[in-house]
Amino acid sequence: MAGPSADFELSMDELRAVAGYAAGCAEQTLVLFQRAHPDDPRPVEAIQAARVFADGAARSRLQRVAAVEGNRAAKAATDEPARHAAYAAGAAAAAAYLHPLAKATQVGHILGAAAHAARAAELAQGDDPVVAEYVLAAAAGRATPVVREVLERYPRAPEGNSRVAVLMRRLDSLLRDPPPTPRVVDDDGPFFHGTRADLRPGDLLTPGWMTNYGSGRESRNIYLTASREGAPLAAELAQGDGPPRVYRVEPTGPIEDDPNVTDKRFPGNPTRSYRTKQPLRVVEEVVDWEPPPAALVERIRSRTGELAELGIEAMDD
């Protein structure tokens, strides 16, 4: 697809990939609108219109009308999370009309749904920017090679003062820029690990177990901390039937900062939280640890459940 004024080629199959990507991003927070306005089908219909086109139907008036109606639903929404969830749906339908023009404003057709979904999610969680970062990380992971290649044909997302503009530029950077080089960790420990597993000195803790956060997917890392306060909290939150346990451990390979803490909440890693892809060797069980406040444990579990309802993986692994 390239008209006389086009700056580059943009095939219909590529447009379908972009529309499908936008729909996937918008679906994540649709529940926030449905919860506030269960009788308004317009955002659902907008995402469905995007899906119809992504699945092979001709691009038609259906996507234009659905995009407009999704945005109207946003304007009529009674709370801000619902509003941005509806805007995300409208942006998904509008993604079908991405134009092959080298203008920064066109990037909104690719990334706008994800940016609004991230804004909806963080507002739903008390305007917590860490939640938005999780949504953007998931959106970056969702982007196929085709979507990434299409994005590269356009200028960077435009600068703006709105939170949505900031989120869009953040996602644009996640998709285009190489990840930062991990910091070389210089920490002599001692190190601790919280779990519910019954272990003995010399046992090895390895990656590959289900995570205790988000969807409970298989973890590619194993986590440790040099803080005696952090390991008991991890032990209380751990999955399993046994009692929470804390072990002193030693890494058998290189360790790196835990990005779930250092990148998102505590830059510089004052909590001394780390992860590794190599096994941890159990040195001894720690028996004199202080349990974290029960209210804190319950608050974290409740929050994790709320994020899971939004399809948010609260673990950057």
Return the pLDDT at 315.
55
Show the tokens assigned to 38: 């269960």
Q: What is the 3-state secondary structure (H, E, C) of the chain?
A: CCCCCCCCCCCHHHHHHHHHHHHHHHHCCHHHHHHHCCCCCHHHHHHHHHHHHHCCCCCCHHHHHHHHHHHHHHHHCCCHHHHHHHHHHHHHHHHHHCCCCCCHHHHHHHHHHHHHHHHHHHHHCCCCHHHHHHHHHHHHHHCCHHHHHHHHCCCCCCCCCCHHHHHHHHHHHHHHCCCCCCCCCCCCCCEEEEECCCCCCCCEECCCCECCCCCCCECCCEEEECCCCHHHHHHHHCCCCCCCEEEEEEECCCCEECHHHHCCCCCCCCCCEEEECCCEEEEEEECCCCCCCHHHHHHHHHHHHHHHHCCCCCCCC
CB atoms within 10 A of CB 184: 9
Return the pLDDT at 1.
57
Give percent of the chain above pLDDT 70. Answer: 90
Return the pLDDT at 314.
56
Span 40-63, mean pLDDT? 97
Span 152-171, mean pLDDT? 96
Residue 100 near residue 73 (C-beta atoms within 8 A): no
Position 20 confidence tier, pLDDT thresholds 50, 70, 90: very high
Return the pLDDT at 199.
94
In the predicted model, is pLDDT for residue 263 greater than 70? no
Assign domain 191-294 to its CATH superfamily: Rifampin ADP-ribosyltransferase domain (3.20.170.40)
Respond yes or no on whether the N-terminal peptide bond of residue 190 is cis (omega within 30° of 0): yes
Of 31-40, 67-76, 202-211, 308-317, least confident by mean pLDDT is 308-317
Look over the chain and give the mean of its residue pLDDT values, rounded to a whole number. 89
Task: Kindly report, residue by residue over 229-253, the tens digit of the pLDDT.
Answer: 888 988 888 878 889 999 999 999 9
In the predicted model, is pLDDT for residue 131 greater than 70? yes
Of 25-29, 173-177, 216-220, least confident by mean pLDDT is 216-220
Residue the block writes with tokens 């963080």: 122
Domain ranges of the chain: 12-176, 191-294
Return the pLDDT at 215.
52
Span 14-37, mean pLDDT? 97
